Each structure stands twice: as structure tokens, then as C-alpha cells.
Amino acid sequence: MKQFKINQNYFLLKNWWESINLTNYEKSFFNKEIIAFNQQLFRLKEKKIRIGTYGKSGVGKSYVLNSLFKKDIFKTDIINGTTREIQAEDWRLKDQSLKSIELIDSPGFDFCNIKSPDKIYSRINHSDLILFVVAGDINRNEVSEINSFIKDGKKIIIILNKINLLKKKELEEIIENIKIKLPNDLNIPIIINHANNLKNYLTKIINQYGETFLTLNSLQLADKLFLKIKEKRLQRRQQLAQSTIGKFSTIKASAVALNPFIFFDVAGSFALDTALINELSKIYGLNLKSESTRRIFKKISINNLSLGVTQIGINTSFNLIRKVILLTIPFTNGLSLLPYGPIAIIQAAFAVHSTKILGKLAAKEIFIRSKVSYIEPFVMIQNIIFKEPEIFNHINIYLSNRILNNNFVNYLP
């Protein structure tokens, strides 16, 4: 049953990822992110969970990992900044459904001479679980680092290290103090690194929830990357859409201005508007059939009063010119361009204005209709039902922050 779930999620995610059809531009622009995500997908397929340590220099990150291995695998030192690079080791637990556990040691976040910080940040960011190591009460910088992980929707566990120098009473006081500084509704675990305490705790939660942590983190990372790709695509399309709308309003305005006697009529204007909607739909990757173009057009005209008013404005001013010209015919032998000039300018301005509004509304309508047909990672996350919701509080934070940040309307023309 458990096995089935992780495999199923892997195949859904893999199919979705293959459906994205990245352009060459996107492949090179997001090169590093794509590689990192492919590695995450591979880990999901292979059931290899990644646990990363994080914390200030000298709090004992390397020491904590060594105590899990019961061996000095990672270098520790009294001098700050012994660990200058990421180091990974496989940790094997008994009776686990996961294939292996990759433990990652990192330099302190406050250390100045970090080698390739981008790489380190990416590795920590791709950890399925973060052990945030502290030694005693936490300071402002640590609180701020913890909060940014929370905001990002990461699963963190606080590891309280260097407790052998403390009395029992002091230890209790410190734990209370740390709790006060953490968001109280999240139940972030605080685990003391003492004897087998941490090892037992990790063994238990990895056996119980390891697969879920790995799956959820893969889905989250997929979603984050997808948002970035979508944002970039929309930015490029926005530029294209804007220039297309500009082009169409120029055509319309010059048609109005150049043919004062033909009276660029509503039918001609409708043909241009329809062509504009079709062009925009191509930009947004949706080749509309004429029926749906008409539906979009209808919806926009009905729903948008200002557009309607502008259209009426154009027609009224057409009628006005007609009247003015007719009235002046007897006096000028039918040749009066004088009253026409200013009105033509107003009309051209109306034409530009209405085309711009139409273009904006049409782009929004088309964008709403152009949803991907594959199940998106975001939807997959939403569909997961948790038996122990308090363990997965970080997911709720992720989902709510994600909705706040996901305002694509800004990228429409």
C-alpha cells in the first residue's frame, strides 16, 4: 500500500514534468534548477530521502551527524568554519521502506568564506527534512533563518545540542525560551541530542513518514520550479501580446483616420477585433476555433461597460461626423474637411483605446481558458490527505503562501 503510493506519485510527477515541453531558451535559463529537480525526481524514484543540517558555525552540526553514525565521519573543530563545503554520507537504518538516507553536512549559515554558496543553498533547499542545529537559546539571526524555512514550507526539526554542560533546570528553561520564539501553532519539534535520543526519534519518523516527506518535498519543488517557468513564459508573452495589441490599434486608428468618407464601420472594426483575439490566443498557446472567439468576444463586450461605452463613443462620433458633413455640404459644395480633422483625431484615439481594452480583456479570458490538462504538482499536494496533520503543518503554510504569491494577472498585457 505504502509502496504503491510513492510510485504512483513518482509516475504522475514524471508524466507532468515531461508534458511541460521546455523550450531551448527555458532549458538554458533554468539549467541549474532543472538539473536539481531531475536529481530530486531520481531520488523519489529510488526512494532516497535527503536530510540536511543547518545552523550557525560551531553549534555542532558535524558533531550531531557523527553521533548518528557513531563514527567521526564529518570533521569537527573548536575553530569556527571547519566545514567549508557540503559533504554527504549515506546512513542506513534497519527496517526502513526507503532505500537509503542521505545526510548532508553544511557550513554555518553565518560563515563568511563559504565555497560555492549557491550550490550549498540549493542542496539544503532540496533536503526533504532539515535538522536545524542550535546550541542553547536561539538568537535573532537563528530565529530569522528558521522563519524563512517556515515561510518557504520546509519541514524543520530543531536539534538542541551541547546540553552536557547544562543542569536539568537550565535545559528546561532554554527549551521554554526557544518555544516562545517559534510560531506556537506549528508544533516544531525540539529534539535534544543526548545518548540515543535523536537517533531513536529520527528512526521513528523516517520509518513512519519518510516516504511522505520525500514525496511532498518533490511535489513542492516541482511546484516552485513550475511557478518560475510560468512566470517567465508570461513575461515573454506579455511583451508579445503588448506589441500585437499596439499593432492592431495602429491599424484601426489609421483605418479610421485615412478613410473619412468610407466611415470605418462597426463590421470592419469587428473583423479586426476578431483577428486580434485570434493572434492573442496563438500567443497564449491556444488556437481558438471561431466559435470560441465569438464567445470570448461576447463575454468581454457584455461584461465590460467601459469597452461598450468606447464602442458607442466611436459610433456616435461617426454619426456626428456624418451629420456635420451632411450639414455643411450645401455651403461647401460637399467638400468640407475642416470639421472632420479634430473628430478624426478623437476617433483614432477612441479606436486605440478600445483596442487596448479589448486586447487586455481578451488576453485575460484566453489565459483563464488555457490550463494544462495534466495534473499539476500543486493539485497533487492539495489532494493528499494527512492522517497526522500536525506533522505536516508546513504544507498548509506552503499552500497559503503560494496562493498569496501567485498573482499572474500582473503579467497580462
Binding site for ligand GDP (CB under 6 A): 55, 57-63, 76-78, 82-83, 108, 161-162, 164
How distant, in Å, are the alpha carbons of 85, 221, 229 from that of 117? Answer: 9, 19, 23
Instruction: Write down the least CB distance from residue 359 to ligand GDP, Å.
Output: 56
Q: How far apart are CA 283 and CA 197, in angstroms?
A: 58
Q: Which is nearer to ligand GDP, 164 or 407 (CB)?
A: 164
From 21-29, 61-69, 163-171, 199-207, give the range in contact with Mg ion by CB under 5 A.
61-69
Q: Which is nearer to ligand GDP, 68 or 325 (CB)?
A: 68
Q: Which is nearer to ligand GDP, 68 or 283 (CB)?
A: 68
Q: Which helix (H) or strand (E) holds 132?
A: strand 129-134
Counting contacts by CB under 5 A, is residue 355 touching Mg ion?
no
Residue ranges in 131-160 that form contacts with Mg ion under rule CB under 5 A: none
Instruction: Write down the least CB distance from residue 61 to Mg ion, Å.
Output: 5
Q: Which residues pair with 158 in a beta bridge?
A: 132, 190
Q: Which is nearer to ligand GDP, 59 or 146 (CB)?
A: 59
Counting contacts by CB under 5 A, is residue 83 touching Mg ion?
yes
From 36-44, 62-70, 140-148, 230-238, give the range in contact with Mg ion by CB under 5 A.
62-70
How distant, in Å, are the alpha carbons of 41, 114, 142, 193 from that of 129? Answer: 16, 22, 17, 17
Counting contacts by CB under 5 A, is residue 161 touching Mg ion?
no
Closest CA relative to residue 51, chosen from 237, 181, 198: 198
84 contact choice in Mg ion, ligand GDP, none (CB below 5 to 8 Å, kind-dependent): none
Instruction: Identify residue 175 by its one-letter amino acid code.
Output: I
Q: Which is nearer to ligand GDP, 120 or 225 (CB)?
A: 120
Kindly tell me the burial class for residue 128, based on how many C-beta atoms sit within 10 Å of its own C-beta (0-12, 13-18, 19 or more).
Answer: buried
Instruction: Identify residue 409 by its one-letter amino acid code.
Output: V
Q: How far apart are CA 194 and CA 178, in angstroms?
A: 18
58 contact choice in Mg ion, ligand GDP, none (CB below 5 to 8 Å, kind-dependent): ligand GDP
CA max distance for the chain: 109
Instruction: Write down the least CB distance from residue 121 to Mg ion, Å.
Output: 16
Instruction: Write down the least CB distance from residue 84 to ligand GDP, Å.
Output: 10
108 contact choice in Mg ion, ligand GDP, none (CB below 5 to 8 Å, kind-dependent): ligand GDP
Q: Which helix (H) or strand (E) holds 206?
A: helix 197-258
Instruction: Write down the least CB distance from residue 80 to ligand GDP, Å.
Output: 7
DSSP 375: P
Q: How far apart are CA 265 and CA 233, in angstroms?
A: 36
Instruction: Write down the least CB distance from residue 183 to ligand GDP, Å.
Output: 24
- Sheet with 48-54, strands from edge to edge, namely 87-91, 100-105, 48-54, 129-134, 156-160, 190-192
278 contact choice in Mg ion, ligand GDP, none (CB below 5 to 8 Å, kind-dependent): none
Q: Which is nearer to ligand GDP, 22 or 175 (CB)?
A: 175
Counting contacts by CB under 5 A, is residue 62 touching Mg ion?
yes
Q: Which is nearer to ligand GDP, 131 or 314 (CB)?
A: 131
Instruction: Write down the least CB distance from residue 128 to ligand GDP, Å.
Output: 21
Taking a C-beta distance cutoff of 8 angstroms, is the pair 175, 160 a contact? yes
Q: How far apart are CA 259 and CA 251, in angstroms?
A: 12
From 59-67, 130-138, 164-172, 375-383, give the range in contact with Mg ion by CB under 5 A.
59-67
Q: Which residues bind Mg ion (CB under 5 A)?
A: 61-62, 83
